[in-house]
Chains A and B, each alone.
Chain A
Amino acid sequence: MKKKLIFISSLFAVCMMSFAFTIIQQPKPWPVPAKDAKIANPVKSNAESLSAGKSLWSLHCVSCHGKKGLGDGSKAAQLKTTPQDMTLASFQSQTDGALYYKISEGRDDMPSFKKKIPDAEDIWNLVNYVRTLKK
């Protein structure tokens, strides 16, 4: 009986330890100022724009957001905030202006990209590409 008790409590301890030292990821709503959300995308979503957007996506975004925007990039597990699944309608329903704002300003784990991508047209190209991730 004693042996059984020790065995069960050890098993329980091991199970608890199996998710010790992990960071609890929380989804976190991200409000965007109304004036930024209303800004219209001046760049047409043509082949050239999408190609430029895809290059920027691969270079700057894939490591956290994953290749398809699912939030499963190689660095994603280390983040405190869960990257949202970009394929879902709940993500895609936000305006181009809101996406532009988020890329430009960043928040917490997500860096601000306005210095790394100083040309507005490039960020709009990235917004156009992000739209193609929709399922």
Chain B
Amino acid sequence: MKKHNSYSSLIPGFARGCLLIVLCSGFGNLMAQDTTAKKSTVAADTTAAAPVVKKKSYVKDTFEGNLLIDDQTVMVPIKGTFAFEIQHRFGTVQHGFSDAFGLFATATMRLGFNYVPVNNLQIGLGASNEKMEVDGNLKYALLKQTKNGSMPVSVTYYGNALMDTRKQDNTTTLFVNTSDRFSFYNEIIIARKFNDKFALQISPGYSHFNNLAGYLDANGKVQPTWNNDQFGIGLGGRLQVSDGMSLIANYDQPLTQNPAQNPRPNISFGIDMRTSGHDFQIFIGNYSSLMPENNMLYNQNNYRKGEFLIGFNISRLWNF
């Protein structure tokens, strides 16, 4: 059932406006950062003078890569990095051996491509087999933690726009206008690298769905199941246990009270292995979608009932 309220016609324009404002302010920050960022240079000239190396002030590798299980990390790769992401979530483990703990059940997967055209800015595109969704995303490093402590945290913005590209069929899909297909996600990720081995991040997030399913009440009136705006918060951490291997964990808590159904939180933990060109994560958690806004709203996997699922993320990195 399509939900009509006084907000729905305004919000698509409003959401677009928000994204535009954020993009413009991001550009302004980029200009500012260019003038203050410390860069290392090597002057290799024929006089063979010692190259000028300014002391690099930012901490490196707060996390291993772009992803921390279901969340984005605070990291934006170095300029010129092109990454290919493969994300995969199996079915829940509850059926035991009958479906190989979810391995033989229906899986959700996403393929994504990211590129860092200028320092601190990453743009990406992806497609997921869940509801045939395609997404465009943007990640910008607003602040970076410094080694001398003058900036104690790194802060990054991440946002995406998601489009459900399924055909309109009046039975499973609810699209009257094209704008009904869209949802948006924005978050601010704040992280601190405490030492070489341990880092933590916290990420408050906000999703907006242009159109959501409702239900008919006893009087035949359309009632909303959920709010179109959702807030949530995530907490993630990484502990390096050996060169190239870390333990990772995540907790996500939806915060919005919905009229008819509330989403459940997520607990996930696993291993991260990184090589020169790849980043592998394998883990178990409650979230089954690859898109943060879907997880934040629709997750009904209950950790108290052991409704966990196995998943993995693989990133392949190239530097141009």
A8 within 8 A of B: no
Contacts of B40 in A (CB 8 A): 119-121
A60 within 8 A of B: yes
Contact A115 B44 (CB under 8 A): no
Expressed in whole angstroms, the minimum distance between the Cβ of A69 and any Cβ of chain B is 14
B31 within 8 A of A: no
B56 within 8 A of A: yes
Question: Interface range on chain B: under 10, 10 to 19, 20 to 34, or 35 or more?
Answer: 20 to 34
Contact A115 B48 (CB under 8 A): no
Expressed in whole angstroms, the minimum distance between the Cβ of A79 and any Cβ of chain B is 15
Expressed in whole angstroms, the minimum distance between the Cβ of B262 and any Cβ of chain A is 42
Contact B44 A121 (CB under 8 A): no
Contact status of A38 and B48, CB under 8 A, knowing A55-B61, A59-B276, A116-B276: yes
Q: Which residue of A lies closest to B47 (CB)?
A: A35
A36 within 8 A of B: yes
A63 within 8 A of B: yes
B36 within 8 A of A: no
Question: Interface range on chain A: under 10, 10 to 19, 20 to 34, or 35 or more?
Answer: 20 to 34
Contact status of A58 and B244, CB under 8 A, knowing A42-B53, A116-B319, A120-B53: yes
A39 within 8 A of B: yes
B46 within 8 A of A: yes
Contacts of B56 in A (CB 8 A): 119, 121-122
Contact B243 A120 (CB under 8 A): no
Contacts of A58 in B (CB 8 A): 243-244
Contacts of A40 in B (CB 8 A): 50
Cβ-defined partner of B319 (8 Å) among A59, A62, A115, A121 = A115
B99 within 8 A of A: no
Q: Which of B18-66 contact A (CB under 8 A)?
A: 40-42, 44-46, 48, 50-53, 55-56, 60-61
A75 to B276, CA, bound (A): 13
Majority SS at the chain B contact face: loop
A101 to B56, CA, bound (A): 20
A31 within 8 A of B: no
Contact A36 B44 (CB under 8 A): yes
B320 within 8 A of A: yes
B212 within 8 A of A: no
Contact A42 B50 (CB under 8 A): yes
Interface string of A65-99 (1 = CB under 8 A from B): 00000000000000000000000000000000000
A122 to B42, CA, bound (A): 12
A124 within 8 A of B: yes
Q: Which residue of A lies closest to B45 (CB)?
A: A35
A120 to B41, CA, bound (A): 6
Contact B244 A59 (CB under 8 A): yes
Q: With a 10 A CB-CB cut-off, give which of B42, B60, B244 has the most chain A CB atoms.
A: B42
A43 within 8 A of B: yes
Contact status of A39 and B44, CB under 8 A, knowing A51-B196, A118-B79: yes
Q: Which of A26-41 contact B (CB under 8 A)?
A: 35-36, 38-40
Expressed in whole angstroms, the minimum distance between the Cβ of B91 and any Cβ of chain A is 34
Contacts of B243 in A (CB 8 A): 54-55, 58-59, 62
Contacts of A35 in B (CB 8 A): 44-46, 48
Expressed in whole angstroms, the minimum distance between the Cβ of A120 and any Cβ of chain B is 4
Contacts of B41 in A (CB 8 A): 120
Q: With a 10 A CB-CB cut-off, give which of A40, A42, A116, A120 has the most chain B CB atoms.
A: A120
Contacts of A54 in B (CB 8 A): 243
Expressed in whole angstroms, the minimum distance between the Cβ of B235 and any Cβ of chain A is 25
Contacts of A116 in B (CB 8 A): 276, 319
Contacts of B55 in A (CB 8 A): 121
Contact A115 B320 (CB under 8 A): yes
Contact B276 A39 (CB under 8 A): no
A52 within 8 A of B: yes
Q: Ordered nearest first, which 5 A-B pairs have the shortest CB separation? A: A58-B243, A38-B48, A120-B42, A115-B319, A40-B50
**Can you list 27 residue pairs at the A/B interface with Cβ under 8 Å?**
A35-B45, A35-B46, A35-B48, A36-B44, A38-B48, A39-B42, A39-B48, A39-B50, A42-B50, A42-B51, A42-B52, A52-B60, A55-B61, A55-B243, A58-B244, A59-B244, A59-B274, A60-B276, A63-B275, A63-B276, A115-B80, A116-B276, A116-B319, A118-B78, A119-B56, A120-B40, A121-B55
